[in-house]
């Protein structure tokens, strides 16, 4: 379907769709890079692309040869540099509204157990990190810990995070009605805004939500404060009376 024509220029509906898709991809990439170290690389990339444009415009043979050869490996270099951002974008696409029904969390009983465990750990001031799997699988993180496949219960969670027990370090990963694994190692966030303000447990909670659509509940062993991490953001100092409703709201997103 042709929208309009200016003689030698024809603009079709598919061209409009093409532009919108490219604009959306660029927008999402820039949004994911905001506040990260990758954002600092954008200036350098702009300078490189500007030099390349000038080289081809003024027919500077030396620079043209250099950029032509770099172009053959440029895509691979960009993928390596922006790997965390690209992974985050793909994860967000996987749990968009269009596909979210595939991994919708339905277990109200499970949320009750998670709520009871979080409040109990906060009362005891036992440090805890609970990662709730959603649409994006967490098998690569499960494999870093001890696989349990135990029926989810507040009592088991409290026992796992009791100080000096063999599995109290690291995170537990919850898949539906089961505790898939304990003592799991998670990636730490590289977002500069969280570099100095939080401990390893909070950084790991933010990190796993940057790379997946998981929800992470963190209990501070120093203050007993309950926090929730989601999509790379940390919601701190959640009131215990509000925790159950907040957990339900997150799983409706």
Radius of gyration of the CA atoms of the chain, in A: 23
Look at residue 100 in the predicted model and tell me its pLDDT.
47
Give yes or no for a contact between 115 and 219, defined as CB atoms under 8 angstroms apart: no
User: What's the farthest any 2 CA atoms get from each other in the chain?
Assistant: 77
Look at residue 185 in the predicted model and tell me its pLDDT.
95
Could you report the per-residue pLDDT of 31-68, keeping only the tens digit for each?
666 655 565 666 777 787 788 888 888 888 887 887 77
pLDDT of 205 higher than 50: yes
Rounded average pLDDT over 22-34: 73
pLDDT of 91 higher than 80: no
Q: Which residues pair with 217 in a beta bridge?
A: 130, 228
pTM of whole model > 0.75?
no
Q: Which fold has domain 103-251?
A: YojJ-like (1 (3.40.1700)
Q: Is the dihedral of CA 176, 180, 183, 186 positive or negative?
A: negative
Could you report the per-residue pLDDT of 96-135, keeping only the tens digit for each?
544 444 444 445 678 899 999 999 999 999 999 999 998 8
Look at residue 105 in the predicted model and tell me its pLDDT.
45
Query: Taking the domains of the chain in order of start, what are their residue ranges?
Result: 2-100, 103-251
Q: Which residues pair with 80 in a beta bridge?
A: none
């Amino acid at each position: 379907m042709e929208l309009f024509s200016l003689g030698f220029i024809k603009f079709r509906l598919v061209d409009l769709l093409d532009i919108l898709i490219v604009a959306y991809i660029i927008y999402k990439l820039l949004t994911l890079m905001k506040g990260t170290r990758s954002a600092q690389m954008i200036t350098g990339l702009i300078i490189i692309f500007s030099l390349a444009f000038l080289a081809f415009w003024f027919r500077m043979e030396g620079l043209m040869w250099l950029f032509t050869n770099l172009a053959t490996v440029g895509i691979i270099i960009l993928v390596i540099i922006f790997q965390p951002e690209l992974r985050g974008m793909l994860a967000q696409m996987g749990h968009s509204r269009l596909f979210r029904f595939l991994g919708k969390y339905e277990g109200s009983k499970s949320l009750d157990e998670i709520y009871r465990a979080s409040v109990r750990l906060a009362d005891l001031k036992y440090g805890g990190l609970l990662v709730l799997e959603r649409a994006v699988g967490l098998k690569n993180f499960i494999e870093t810990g001890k696989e349990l496949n135990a029926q989810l219960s507040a009592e088991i969670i409290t026992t796992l995070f009791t100080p000096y027990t063999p599995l109290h370090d690291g995170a537990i990963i919850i898949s539906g009605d089961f505790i898939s694994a304990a003592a799991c190692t998670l990636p730490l966030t590289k977002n500069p805004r969280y570099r100095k303000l939080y401990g390893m447990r909070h950084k790991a909670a933010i990190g796993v939500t940057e790379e997946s659509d998981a929800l992470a509940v963190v209990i501070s062993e120093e203050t007993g404060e309950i926090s929730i991490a989601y999509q790379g953001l940390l919601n701190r100092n959640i009131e215990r009376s509000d925790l159950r409703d907040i957990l339900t709201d997150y799983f409706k997103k």
